[in-house]
Chains A and B, each alone.
Chain A
Amino acid sequence: MSRKLRSLFSRQVTMMILGLTIGAGILTLPSAVARVFGASSWIGTLIIGLFFTGGSYVAAKLAQMFPEETIVEYSQKILGKYFGIIFSILFAVFFFSFVPIETRIMHELVNISLLPQAPSWFVNGVFILVMAYAASKDITQLAQVNELLIEIALVVGVFVSILAWQHFKPMHMLPVFAKNQLHFEQIGAEIGTAFSYAGFPLVNMILPYIRNPEEVTRATIKGNLLVTLIYTFFTITVIGVFGYKETIDLAWPGLELAKSVNLEAVILERLDLILLISWISAVFTTGVLAYFVAALVISKLFGLRNHTFVVWAMVPLIYYLSTSLKNYFVWNQWGLYISILAIIISFLLIPLLYFLALIKARRRN
């Protein structure tokens, strides 16, 4: 890989992990967590986040062992050609499956609050086309778009959350870890949120484009810690405002949070609009980065020089899948599958690859 291609700053890597990880999941995360952990959900969010941060450390270390290659190439070196290809396909499927679900949830939210009557071909079509347009660009440009959008999303999102603290009741946070509130039989719902955490395998694809590969572990961990912090903060806000019992029953706790804000001086009647616009950009960054990574993996598998063709070829498939996710239950089921895949990839396959790579490296010495 030539020097010229190494264009990403480590700050941009952090931002890309934030952008890929924070997406559609954040609005539903608090209610899923509340089902299992009750009033002390924020501890649950924190712990899960830290788990995934640990996973990201392994992924970054693995990536650093092969600074000139992507996971498509070195998985074939470590696992052998066929298992490597199977792994890469799994990897591509994992990222690809993000895209239709993000599109579908986007459609739902747009229908709920912005354009009630908008047909799905319009909302999904526009979203997918803009995503494809962005994903067909090179990684430098994508990183810049992502940086800009995720910054807007975070600033606005945190701003609205802070405003919502006017309804914050400390009583809602108590008791901390009451046994009768823990419902581990609901863990299925918890697993379903795992895909809101697992964006970090991105590092294994973008390392050859990073300016200083030695800084990547720090950047990755920073990104995942930030994600954990933001989720925890958001969960605290939601649970604090609504209480855990109400949160469980809310379909979109984040939106309800924004609606609860009263600001007399603001020109808008409801603040959920502002939150929604910030959230659209967050969903967009998730979708576009996942799209890009999936297309990159596939184009590398086929030995294509450019991923543009793959991106545009995927458009009909994504459109078909996004419209086939008919309702809340279907996409929740889908989310569960992705989450299981996320857990398998980040806690089983990537550590396995790292372990095998370490053994191979030691044997060579």
Chain B
Amino acid sequence: MDKKKFRRPKPPSEIRKDKEKQQKEAEGKGPFLRRDLVTNVNYLKETIGKSKDVVFREFIMDLTEPVQIVIVFVDGLAAKEIINEYILEALTFQGGLETDWSRDRRNLARNIKDYVLNINEVSLQSDCSEIITAILSGETVILIEDNDLAIICNTRGWEHRGIQEPQTEAAIRGPKVGFNELLRSNTAQIRRWIRDQDLIINTLKIGVRSKTDVAIVYLESVAKPQIVTEVEKRLNKIEIDGLLESAYIQEYIEDRHYSLFPTVQTTERVDRVVASILEGRVAVLMDNTPFALIMPVTFWQLYYSAEDYYHRWPLAILLRLIRFISFFFSLYLPALYLAFAVHSPELIPFNLAIKIAGTREGIPFPVFLEALIMEIAIEIIREASVRLPGPFGQTIGIVGGFILGDAAVRAGLISPIMTIVVALTAISSFTAPSFGVAITMRILRFPLMIVAQVGGLYGLSMATIFFLINLAGIRSFGVPFLSPLVPFNFSDLKDSIFVVPRWAMIKRPLVYEPLDVKREGSKAKNWWEALFNPPSKNKKGAGKEDE
């Protein structure tokens, strides 16, 4: 290396480039590669070489003149087979090649990229900080003597979980695939569902230290551009050292940071994300977690299950109805029982009131305390069954719920009717399809019980009005949270408390103001018109479905 007999003088263009680099460095834009290999390698060794998993492999490429080359990668992140076969082998077996490009030592980096490497994703980079990020992301960097450009080869390949059935959102009917922890695999899954040229997958890095890849996925010709830019704006604003889960992003980009209701939907179901993208919403996926974020979201949407769309519509309507009833139960049942039992027993039918009073005889606690004890007990059982591994969790549920409840009633500590109320409440709260909203109900139940104890039915109705005031004020990325109920939107009612058949949902939800309002297919203007023109009536293949 030191035996340089003749150095070609630097052409003026290179001198200009060097000056520009020095200027940039002076402005603090991070160091750039030099033409001197030793300096470059030393710089990298100083910054990331202290860790033993960073591998520096030095070798000589036998071109017209031998060229010193160093490749840098992280052991375990980079796929070794690719490095061995397609980088080392390709570079070392050139055997004194005599071509035009191999003589041009100063542009060797570009030429090797163009002529030698048979790797699919290769780029040139001179910014050291970019190079270091690339190495730490699992890519392999090739540094070449006398070249101030490094070649970055995509050799990312590490162990990861395969595609499995989503654990948190089970469905009887529907595709059994969930996301996994690999961002690329997740975006690829979305691509496999939507083969549309307008599907945009825009990636950015968030986290000063973790530099996590975050992808924004949407349909360009459908999603409202203001929503997309708003999402991008909020993502770019995030200042954090490391992202561990998409919940971190969620907390940063939420509309109401102090509200109990989530204004961003989370899911690990691929079909759910795809359906939302087709509706004109925006999905945000993060590396290292299977949970995707969907925004904007309405209150009702949190209560829809992906399955609602796979069953035939009569069943879907029934399921939604049951879910909304159980939503009401899970929030209000203990509070209502308290309000009636404490303040307005005269409103309960006479026979029922007698029954309740009979079962309560000899119970040592006031109703409120009884309800509170039972509710807290059931929360403890629930938390315990989540923490315990699989089969034990169910056992705890049975032991806790069944045996404890029964024993408490037999011992005369708790009235049987209270057990019924609490059990029904707990079971109702399990019907919520998303954990985020179920937990809101669990939290709200306790203040409501206190309100019912203090203010009876009057207090409950005032508390409800208070909730509604708050709910009406929430906007998720500019979309009113309670839509389509308020502001009333007749077109969006097609997919709300009831569901119309698939072929009648000819418009996307208008509340997201999609650019392309109509789903393909039917000629009808509205869903209620479409209901009178089922696909079998239409002559021209109107049965084509969009989703």
Contact = CB atoms under 8 A, between A and B. Distances in A.
A269 B350 CA distance: 7
Contact of A277 (B457, B480, B488): B457
A141 B485 CA distance: 13
Contacts of B352: 267
Interface stretch (B5-13, B101-109, B464-472): B464-472
Contact of A114 (B344, B466, B473): B344
Interface stretch (A72-80, A122-130, A188-196, A245-253): A122-130
A228 interface: no
B346 A269 contact: yes
B461 A137 contact: no
A144 B466 contact: no
Contact of B458 (A110, A143, A148, A268): A110
Interface in A247-261: none
Interface string A109-143: 01000110010001100110010011001000101
B486 interface: yes
A115 B486 contact: no
Contacts of B465: 130, 134, 145, 149, 280-281, 284
Contacts, number: 82
Contacts of A277: 457, 461
Contacts of A269: 346-350
Interface string A265-281: 00111100100010011
A144 B458 contact: no
Contact of B347 (A130, A133, A273): A273
A72 B492 CA distance: 38
B495 to A, nearest CB: 19
A115 B456 contact: yes
Interface string A132-175: 01100100010111011100000000000000000000000000
Nearest to B350: A269
A12 interface: yes
Residue from B343, B472, B473, B482 whose CB has the most chain A CB atoms within 10 Å: B472
A211 to B, nearest CB: 10
A331 B132 CA distance: 79
A9 interface: yes
A126 B344 CA distance: 19
Interface in A190-217: none
Contact of A130 (B343, B348, B462): B462
A300 interface: no
Residue from B473, B480, B482 whose CB has the most chain A CB atoms within 10 Å: B473
Nearest to B349: A269
B455 interface: yes
Contacts of A123: 458
Contact of A126 (B343, B349, B350, B455): B455
B459 interface: yes
Nearest to A8: B487
Interface string B447-464: 000000001111101100
A11 interface: yes
Contacts of A149: 465, 468
A115 B346 CA distance: 11
A144 B486 CA distance: 6
A11 B348 contact: no
> Main SS of the interface on chain A?
helix
A148 B347 contact: no
A280 B458 CA distance: 9
Contacts of B472: 141, 144-145, 148
Contacts of A148: 468, 472, 482, 485-486
B457 A147 contact: no
A115 B460 CA distance: 12
Contacts of B343: 114-115
Contacts of A267: 348-349, 352
B420 to A, nearest CB: 14
B463 to A, nearest CB: 9
Contact of A115 (B455, B473, B487): B455
B488 A11 contact: yes
Contacts of A270: 346-347
B344 A273 contact: yes
A115 B461 CA distance: 13
Interface string B52-79: 0000000000000000000000000000
Contacts of B486: 144-145, 147-148
A271 B252 CA distance: 47
Contact of B487 (A11, A122, A127, A281): A11
A147 B461 contact: no
B458 A147 contact: no
Contacts of B349: 267-269
Nearest to B487: A9
A114 B469 contact: no
Contact of B468 (A12, A145, A280): A145
Nearest to A107: B458
Contacts of A143: 487
A114 to B, nearest CB: 5
A45 B491 CA distance: 35
Given A115-B456, A273-B347, A147 B462 contact: no
Given A114-B456, A130-B462, A130-B465, A12 B347 contact: no
A127 B486 CA distance: 23
A269 B346 CA distance: 7
The 9 A-B pairs of least Cβ separation, nearest first, read A144-B472, A141-B473, A144-B486, A147-B486, A145-B472, A114-B458, A134-B469, A269-B349, A148-B486
14 contacts: A115-B343, A115-B455, A122-B455, A133-B469, A144-B487, A147-B486, A148-B468, A149-B465, A149-B468, A267-B348, A268-B349, A269-B347, A269-B348, A281-B461
Given A114-B456, A126-B458, 16 more contacts: A114-B343, A114-B344, A115-B455, A126-B462, A127-B462, A134-B469, A141-B469, A143-B487, A144-B487, A145-B468, A145-B469, A147-B487, A267-B348, A269-B350, A270-B347, A273-B344
